Amino acid sequence: MRKNQVAVVGAAETTELGVIPNASQLQLHADAALNAIADAGLKLSDIDGFATAVETPQQVCHYLGIKPTWVDGTSVGGCSFMLHVRHAAAAIEAGLCKTVLITHAESGKSMIGKAPRSIPADSLQGQFEAPYGVYGPPSMFPIPVLRFMKTYGITHEQLASVAVVQREWAARNPRAMMKDPITVADVLNSRMIAYPFRLLQCCLVTDGGGALILTSADRARDFPRKPVYIMGTGESVETPMVSQMETFNSSRAFKTAGPLAFREAGIAHKDVDHLMIYDAFAHLPLFGLGDLGFMPHEETGKFIADGNTRPGGKLPLNTNGGGLSYMHSGMYGMYALQESVRQMRGIAPAQVPNAKISVCHGVGGMFAASGTIVFTNER
């Protein structure tokens, strides 16, 4: 894909985030969509392309009254929205549509109008993972951690520092769920969830949503907001079974999607002003920093523990507070994208001064999928 040919011209989250007992999941899609439409100064009838995950495009399009000529229902977990951005950019460039709306919403906490996730007993996961007592992401996502720690000499304290640093960012964000400062000792003394991870190393469970609107860079100049250009994109999938990853020392999907996006953008790591790495659990930023090539994996724990990703550090990471402290409705990728867009617009609550390039990296499932978007505010 050619860089900077497509831009984000509308971006918004749901009016409320956190616990929203008065709206169904579908209504949260609509709330986010209407906020993004207003942000872009558009009407619903201007939308001719639509993408969403978990809910089907037909469900959300009908509810909103959108009549699209291009749809994408790619649903590969929490990074689905990174893939939607990539696909939408390609579709706009190919002339299949002009203005794409991407929505995410999840009633992750209140569970209103949300189908429970289930694993069929005759699926491969149902036969070869579920019988051993896996029960939701906390019991599965951390399975690679002990191997990763042993291979690279990563410590429990370093993995705890991920949560501490992100809480520092969250403290600057009025919309963050968790804002009180925490220490490494607080993390290591919090309730055990799935050893080696404790409560404060696991993402929040909340309700919310977000939406993006993309159009061609040429048209983007006429919109009310400062355009945020799609500079580079990457995507991949590996396996739906965490036990079947090629290795626990890295994520193949990360190592495919990340470098693809960097190559397409034509940037080096030193060019990155702002970074989002989807942090469903505390090890994700370490995998991300290593797999995206910022540094060798063995240095990632120390890099974060030393404060390099905290406010004022040289590589601002997860500046909204992340899935650990900002919000996590189940598919957090949309919120990472929203924060990248805010940073590129220059309106983030914890704004990184003069940030020009933002990398937004997502995970789907338990390292099952990945999508990476490089944004810039300069064309």
Partner 1 sequence: MAEPQRARPKPTPETQHFWDGTKAGELRLQRCDACAQVYFPPRPFCPSCASRKVSVFKASGKGFLYSYVINHRPAAPGFTPPYAIAVVELDEGPRMMSSIINCPQTPEALELDMKLEVAFQELDDKITLPVFRPAKG
Q: In this structure, are residues 188 and 182 in contact, taking their beta carbons and an 8 Å threshold?
A: no
Which one, 162 or 242, has the nearer CB to partner 1?
242
Least Cβ distance, residue 241 to partner 1 (angstroms): 8
Report, in Å, the least distance between residue 141 CB and partner 1: 9
Cα dihedral 290/373/101/207 (nearest 10):
20
Which is closer to partner 1, CB of 156 or CB of 269? 156
Question: Footprint of partner 1 on this chain (CB under 8 A)?
Answer: 119-122, 124, 126-136, 138-140, 142-147, 150, 191-197, 241-244, 248
Instruction: Provide the minimum distance between the beta carbon of 348 and partner 1 in the complex, in angstroms, as a whole number.
Output: 34
**Minimum separation from the CB atom of position 83 to partner 1 (A):** 23
Q: Cis peptide before 196, with omega less than 30 degrees from 0?
A: yes
Q: Which residue has the tokens 């050619």?
A: 2
Helix (H) or strand (E) holding 132: none
Q: Which is nearer to partner 1, 141 or 375 (CB)?
A: 141
Counting other chains too, the contacts that 25-28 makes at CB distance below 8 Å and 24 or more residues apart are 25/55, 25/105, 25/106, 25/107, 25/112, 25/113, 25/114, 26/55, 26/59, 26/60, 26/63, 26/105, 26/113, 27/105, 27/113, 28/105, 28/106, 28/107, 28/207, 28/208, 28/209
Using the minimum distance from each CB to partner 1, give the nearer residue, 142 or 316: 142
DSSP annotation string for 207-238? EEEEEEEEEEHHHHTTSSSPPEEEEEEEEEE-
Give 196 or 349: the residue with its C-beta nearer to partner 1: 196
Locate 78 and state its tokens: 């929490």
Please, what is the minimum distance in Å from the beta carbon of residue 190 to partner 1?
12
In the bound state with partner 1, the residue whose beta carbon lies nearer, of 138 and 313, is 138
- Nearest approach in angstroms of CB 194 to partner 1 is 4
Q: Which is nearer to partner 1, 156 or 226 (CB)?
A: 156
Least separation, in Å, of the C-beta of 246 and partner 1?
10
Q: Closest CB to partner 1 among 18 and 138? A: 138
Instruction: Please list, residue by residue across 316-344, b when 16 or more beta carbons sit within 10 angstroms of its beta carbon and e when fewer do.
Output: bbbbbbbbbbbbbbbbbbbbbbbbbbbbb
Question: Are the C-beta atoms of 282 and 201 separated by less than 8 Å?
Answer: yes
Report the distance separating Cα 200 and Cα 186, nearest Å. Answer: 8
What's the min distance (Å) between Cβ of 289 and partner 1? Answer: 20
Nearer to partner 1, 146 or 185 (CB): 146
Least Cβ distance, residue 328 to partner 1 (angstroms): 16
